[in-house]
Amino acid sequence: MPPLTTPKSGDALFASVERVNAELFTLTYGAIVRQLLTDLEEVEEVNKQLDQMGYNIGTRLVDEFLAKSNVSNCADFKETADTIAKTLSYVCPVIAFFTATVAMHHSGTFHALSSANSLGFKMFLGVTATVTNWDAEGTTCSFVLEDNPLVDFVELPDTCQGLQYCNVLSGVIRGALEMVSMKTEVTWVRDMLRGDDAYEMRVKLTKQVPEEYPYKDDD
């Protein structure tokens, strides 16, 4: 098996792309969350919609990640847990990439604007996602985000206590992995907003979509 092309690291990746002021992002995200709260009313529905939006973004974003990160050889990547692990860790920068963006979201409320300075906006550099806690079958693992700048930003009003910005993030992972033939379930097991020491998502591979051949030889 040929060696996988060395992917660029997350920080090299970020350094190479065109950037914009984070406040444009922050405020735009705030605006969409406000629209969702107005349109859908129920916080639970907003959470679902955020997850869906994350999923949509993931399905579109994965190609840019693949194109820019030099991940080009998919030999055997579907065949063993080991290579799944590799693929998952390749997708990590996607998460980090998006985490950085999600971090901006929390300035949606005005007074959060007054924060930002202390944020690890060395961009996604500050948000290293590690893949760990593999199960014996090699189909479930954890993405752990320590020091997630999310937590610094969040100050939800009493009426929105159930609002989960992080659903966008799990949606992105689900969407991105589905595009490389892996159906996953993503659940949050640790959440700094609820007093845990890190963010941890449990990513469970539920189905590897087999290579689809466009011809049938059995009928």
Partner 1 sequence: MGTVAIYSLFIINKSGGLIYYKDYGSAGRMDTNDSLRLASLWHSMHAISQQLSPTTGCTGIDLLQAHNFDLHCFQSLTGTKFFVVCETGAQNMEILLKTIYELYTEFVLKNPFYEMEMPIRCELFDLNLAQVIQKDRVALLGR
Partner 2 sequence: MISVGKTKQYANVLDKPLSRGRQEVSLSAFAFLFSEVVQYNQTQVDNIADLERRLEDAGYAVGARVLELLCHREKGNRRETRLLGILSFIHSNVWKVLFGKVADSLEKGTEHEDEYMISEKELLVNRFISVPKDMGAFNCGAFVAGIVRGVLDNAGFPAVVTAHFVPIEGQQRPRTTILIKFAEEVLRRESRLG
**List of residues contacting partner 1 (CB under 8 A):** 1-2, 59-64, 66-68, 71-77, 79, 179-181, 211-215
Task: Give the span between the Cα atoms of 78 and 183, in whole angstroms.
Answer: 12
Task: Give the span between the Cα atoms of 189 and 125, in whole angstroms.
Answer: 23
Task: Give the span between the Cα atoms of 51 and 186, in whole angstroms.
Answer: 11
Task: Give the span between the Cα atoms of 103 and 210, in whole angstroms.
Answer: 35
Confirm or reject binding of residue 101 to partner 2 (CB under 8 A).
Answer: yes
Confirm or reject binding of residue 17 to partner 2 (CB under 8 A).
Answer: yes
Largest CA distance in the chain: 66
Interacting residues with partner 2 between 133 and 172 (CB under 8 A):
147, 149, 152-153, 155
Q: Contact with partner 2 (CB under 8 A): which of 41, 44, 80, 113?
A: 113
Confirm or reject binding of residue 198 to partner 2 (CB under 8 A).
Answer: no
Residue 33 exposure: Cα atoms within 13 Å on the Cβ side: 27
Task: Give the span between the Cα atoms of 219 and 216, in whole angstroms.
Answer: 6
Q: How many residues bind partner 2 (CB under 8 A)?
A: 57
* Interacting span for partner 2 (CB under 8 A) from 71-79, 110-118, 200-208, 209-217: 110-118
Window 34-73: contact mask with partner 2 (x via CB under 8 A): xxx--x---------x---x--xx--xx--x---------
Torsion angle (degrees, nearest 10) of CA 189, 182, 83, 200: -10
* Interacting span for partner 2 (CB under 8 A) from 82-90, 119-127, 183-191, 210-218: 119-127
155 CB-contact burial (10 Å; exposed 0-12 / middle 13-18 / buried 19+)? exposed
For partner 2, the binding residues (CB under 8 A) are: 9-11, 14, 17-25, 27-32, 34-36, 39, 49, 53, 56-57, 60-61, 64, 97-98, 100-101, 104, 110-123, 125-126, 128, 147, 149, 152-153, 155
